[in-house]
Amino acid sequence: MDKLVIEGGTPLSGTIRIHGAKNAALPIMAASLLAEGVHSLHNVPKLLDIETMLNILERLGCRGTHENETVTIDTSMLATSHVPEDLMRQMRSSIFLMGPLLARFGEVTIYQPGGCAIGERKIDLHLEGLKLLGTEIEENNGCIHCRAAKLTGADIHLDYPSVGATENIMMAAAMAEGTTTISGAAREPEIQDLQNYLNQMGAEIMGAGTDTITIRGVRKLTACTYEVIPDRIVAGTVMIAAAATRGSVTLTHTNATHLNSLIHVLRRAGVQITVCNDIINVSCMGRPRAVERIVTSPYPSFPTDLQSQVMVLLALADGFSVIKETVFEGRFKHVEEMARMGADISTDLNRAFIRGVQRLYGATVEATDLRAGAALVIAGLAAQGTTVVEQAHHIDRGYDGIEKLFQKLGARISRKVPVPGPLDLAN
């Protein structure tokens, strides 16, 4: 597997453009199945998950290309609603195909999805929502078959603001007969982006960004061209890395309103941040301050996807900080790896207690999941000496060449690709 080698201790400096949001692009790519024709999606990053989704769409009969941050999907040859099990197990976001395929074919067969091992992520809310729209569901040994002679609008309440369930129900209901109301809906910017895309296709959806979304079903949707929003998690990762290395970085093509909770935390830590339109300037010339308490929670609260990264900053801060993780129970796997680098962090169930140290030291560490891997890269950039981050393929799921991104800001980071041995070549 690829590894990243980092010579730490260089403050990041310069300007970087933030690429499109993976978590917006994936459901939008799935939603393209709702309308026959050629869809053109701009600002789509070159990521492992994006390529996996494109592979799935091609296996379903679509034709797709990904060139220069533009994904083109021709859905006119869509031939099956049976999603391949091998590809589903590679990526959790494949679950987004359930709603649009059900709406297009009246049935869909899927399997329990894979993805990062960061804790239990049930799909019960997806299934319950689809049942209320008139879907019959059969489950057998991890295989899920959904059938609906006709989807009918319904009032659906989500006991938890699940992003995936909200989006799946939106897509299924877009062409259902009648009106669907989702209360307790997730409020993430990516859901607003999906609403905007569906509406551009001819859907009638309102309320995304609030906890109540209303979908008036339409008979037909048409293919369109659309630009995906910038990735707030990538932007947040760069902002935290700039602060952790005591650098000064300008981010372009961002949306600061999507990052309000992070900006609030960074300012509490003594980081200087200025915002002008889609540009964010971040600088931190001295040692950051501890932040007494951070609690992860669904948007607009502090995102779980930035928890591991901000922990690196707090590990270098002056004082004692506490992070409470309320979304995923497996989100502290990076703590043990950071301890190898000299961090003073202890955990108790869903809380991490961080006593800031003067510096971190380079070590060989392992990326256990996407965001943990990003955190270890930040730690390596800030550390004294050489850090090797193994299992870099996890990081590639969410960052379009993270080493190239930080190289543009002056970081000494490179990727090492293993040389195939005789047995590998024989196979």
What b/e string do you get for 298-326 counting C-beta neighbours within 10 Å, with b at 16 or more? bbeebbbbbbbbbbbbbbbbeeebebebb
- Residue 419 has a pLDDT of 76
How many whole angstroms separate alpha carbon 133 and alpha carbon 148?
9
DSSP 360-420: -B--EEE--SHHHHHHHHHHHHHSBSEEEEE-GGGGGGTSTTHHHHHHTTT-EEEEEPPPP
- Residue 121 has a pLDDT of 46
**Contact at 8 Å (CB) between 146 and 99?**
no
How many whole angstroms separate alpha carbon 370 and alpha carbon 402?
11
Whether 116 is a known active-site residue: answer yes
Of 62, 116, 146, 284, which one is the catalytic site residue?
116
- Residue 422 has a pLDDT of 59
**Helical ranges in 91-214 per DSSP H:** 98-105, 124-132, 163-173, 189-200
pLDDT in tens, the chain (427 residues): 899 999 999 999 999 999 999 999 999 999 999 999 999 999 999 998 899 899 999 999 999 999 999 999 999 999 999 988 887 877 767 888 999 999 999 999 988 765 444 444 468 899 999 999 999 999 888 788 999 999 999 999 999 999 999 999 999 999 999 999 999 999 999 999 999 999 999 999 999 999 999 999 999 999 999 999 999 999 999 999 999 999 999 999 999 999 999 999 999 999 999 999 999 999 999 999 999 999 999 999 999 999 999 999 999 999 999 999 998 777 898 999 999 999 999 999 899 999 999 999 999 999 999 999 999 999 999 999 999 999 999 999 899 999 999 999 999 999 999 877 655 555 5
How many whole angstroms separate alpha carbon 223 and alpha carbon 168?
19
Token output for 208? 């995304």
- Residue 118 has a pLDDT of 41
Token output for 255? 């949306």
Contacts for 297 with CB less than 8 Å, ≥ 6 apart? 326, 327
The pTM assigned to this predicted structure is: 0.93
**Helical ranges in 78-123 per DSSP H:** 85-88, 98-105
Q: Beta strand pairing status for 225-227 and 38-42? A: parallel
- Residue 116 has a pLDDT of 43
Longest dimension (CA), the chain: 64
Contacts for 124 with CB less than 8 Å, ≥ 6 apart? none
How many Cβ atoms sit within 10 Å of the Cβ of residue 405?
A: 21
At 369-385, the pLDDT tens digits run 999 999 999 999 999 99
Neighbouring C-alpha atoms within 13 Å toward the C-beta of 85: 7
412 burial (CB, 10 Å; 0-12 / 13-18 / 19+) is middle
- Residue 117 has a pLDDT of 45
